[in-house]
Amino acid sequence: MHHHRTTRRFAVLVVSAALVAAACSGSDSGSSTDESKATTVDTGATDDTATDTTEPAATPVPGGELVVSGGAEVANPWTPAAMQCDSYCYQRASTFFDRIALVGDDLKVHGMLAESITPNDDYTVWTIAVRPGISFSDGTPVDAAAIIRNLNETGSSLLVAKALVDVARNPDGTFVTEQTDDMTFTIAMGKNGDPTAPMSWPGFDFYLTGQWGLIASPAWLDAVKADPTKATAPIGSGPFIVESYTPHDQMVVTRNPDYWRSDENGVQYPYLDKITFKVIEDSATAAQALQDGNIDIFATGYAQVIADFREMPDEFPMVEQTEFVSTGYLMIDLSKTDLPTADERVRCAISKAIDRQEISELVYAGIPTPANGLFSPGQEGHLEDNGFDPARDVEGAKALIAEYQAENPGPISITLGHTADRSNDQLSELIKGYLDEIGISLEIDTVPQDQFITLALLGDERYQMFAWAQHGGIKVDGQNFWWNSASGTTRGALSLNFARIDDPVVDENLAIARSAADPAERQAAAETINRTFAEHCYQIPIAWGPTGIVRLPKVKGLDTLTTPDGTLINSGEGVYPLTSVWIEE
């Protein structure tokens, strides 16, 4: 037997396109929204009788090498403005780039490169003081000018800019900032970027903890502009320095001997001498590589792999991230008004027809929990009862279809797209059977991984309904650009609002959730969005599933890294800190 013990929590700290992660359908998701977090359960028991199996504190041993694997390669590496980041992208980028800020275990923003981040009384202007004495690994200083340069470049990129529409901009597109000295600057908020319309944004600082907050050497950014091939040799102020990078194969980083951080005993971070990051797309293959000793640690959302490692807690300790996680769901393009799914009755009938518990048991080894919406447990706006019943209701589904067909005679046919994967094949076949029972013909379209995101982003005609996983997070403001009609609702046009949701109630409450200073008011707005989604069946939730981080026992210090002020950090859904990791030989 083995015991579950509650350990430290991890959180995704991203503000970005996060598009690669969004394409991971079914249960294998590393969805990256702006501030997602996961409570963890560690199944690495040390004995069969103790009720508290927390390992005693050990003294870290500097040195050694670590081999890590992840399931996807990043698109457009490695400038923060260009890369399309999933969790494994962030895993690697966090070794050579520092962020402006991090989310702590207390779910508050704590400075990293920033010594302080302070709003004015109405949250319309924020003052950022840069921590002194830090340099990039090329020797150039980390100062206010360097951070402003990065914020402007990354924040003006096509996809990241969509998340920052309410940061005030100058006519030339740069943000409205004022540098008050070498290490301090202010940045202003403005409704839809308008500097003449100051906007209250209490949660703005969370956006400094993700992709927008990754800070690169300005000298390197200049070098990349002159020679784009240098983009694959990134330079930051992080704990490691990139030694080599071979796309779709591996990246090697080595210890930064001049890194600015030390542990509580004065020992300089990082402890490791070298990390090799490998790309292993299939989680079952990665699992075997771990068991064969070819890698030391990896993260997975594949339920069967998680189930297998639950049976081997001593040989392969595993942390399971179980809250604030992504939702697996069927995402519908609501802009295609000529399709049956444009009608609420058809969408709700599909939802009622699905047997979520059976899907969990037959496809995902009983690991995921049937979902009643896109707000996973713990998230702002999550409700045990949002008006949606995830239990199967075939008769209710048939009644809705009969009502629809009375007004729209003829057969109903829908196409479901998914990426090539055994679990997705099983999922789509089950859904096909459920829908056939209520009179809907389902066509199944297997879409190549490298096309999946693009089809949704552009609203391609091939995209009607996709098996999708996304929307982990703490606050609903982190979903603003995914659900706001301002992100685009036009058929066939580029939009981060992949579902093309166009609902004034959703928009109104997203605005409240962004600007309200009162947490209770933000919570109420989030709950209204949750109920609105449930009422109209805008999307069809399937399940909430954990992410497992599996390691060899020799890998230590996984949950010990703190922010500079001493607060334990949250790293992310499928992400884990490596600065404080050490090897016990």
DSSP string spanning 124-137?
A: SEEEEEEPTT-B-T
């302080």: which residue's tokens? 116
Distances from the Cα of 423 to the Cα of 65, 417, 432, angstroms:
34, 13, 14
What are 233-244's pLDDT values in tens digits? 999 999 999 999
DSSP secondary structure code for residue 479 in this structure: G
What are 87-116's pLDDT values in tens digits? 899 999 999 999 999 999 898 999 999 999
Structure tokens at 285: 């293959």
> Please, are residues 210 and 85 in contact by the beta-carbon 8 Å criterion?
no
Distances from the Cα of 202 to the Cα of 118, 125, 193, 563, angstroms:
11, 10, 16, 21
Q: Which of 560, 569, 519 is nearest to 108 (CA)?
A: 569
Q: What is the average per-residue pLDDT within 214-219? A: 98
Contacts of 519 by beta carbon, 8 Å cutoff, 6+ apart: none
Q: Where are the domains of the chain?
A: 327-543
What are 343-371's pLDDT values in tens digits? 999 999 999 999 999 999 999 999 999 99
Q: Give percent of the chain above pLDDT 70.
A: 90
The C-alpha R_g of the chain, in whole angstroms, comes to 23
What are 530-547's pLDDT values in tens digits? 999 999 999 999 999 999
Residue 513 has φ and ψ, to the nearest 5°, of: -65, -30
CATH architecture of 327-543: Roll (3.10)
Helix/strand/coil (H, E, C) string of 142-187? CCHHHHHHHHHHHHCCCCHHHHHCCECECCCCCECEEEEECCEEEE
How far apart, in whole angstroms, are the C-alpha atoms of residue 135 and residue 142?
5
Residue 219 has φ and ψ, to the nearest 5°, of: -65, -40
β partners of residue 127: 118, 186
In single-letter form, the type of residue at position 69 comes to S
Q: Which of 580, 570, 585 is nearest to 105 (CA)?
A: 570
Q: Residue 155: pLDDT above 90?
A: yes
Query: How many residues belong to the chain?
Result: 585
> Please, are residues 580 and 65 in contact by the beta-carbon 8 Å criterion?
no
The pLDDT, as a whole number, for residue 56 is 53
The pLDDT, as a whole number, for residue 422 is 85
Task: pLDDT band for 450, please (50, 70, 90 cuts).
Answer: confident
- Give the number of other CB atoms < 10 A from CB of residue 431: 26
Q: Which of 137, 77, 441, 230 is nearest to 85 (CA)?
A: 77
Task: pLDDT band for 57, please (50, 70, 90 cuts).
Answer: low
List for the chain the helix, strand, coil content (%; round to 5): 30, 25, 45
Structure tokens at 462: 């091939």
Q: Is the pTM of this model over 0.75?
A: yes
Stretch (H or E) spanning 253: strand 250-255
What are 60-75's pLDDT values in tens digits? 999 999 999 998 889 8
β partners of residue 184: 129, 181
Q: Residue 1: pLDDT above 70?
A: no
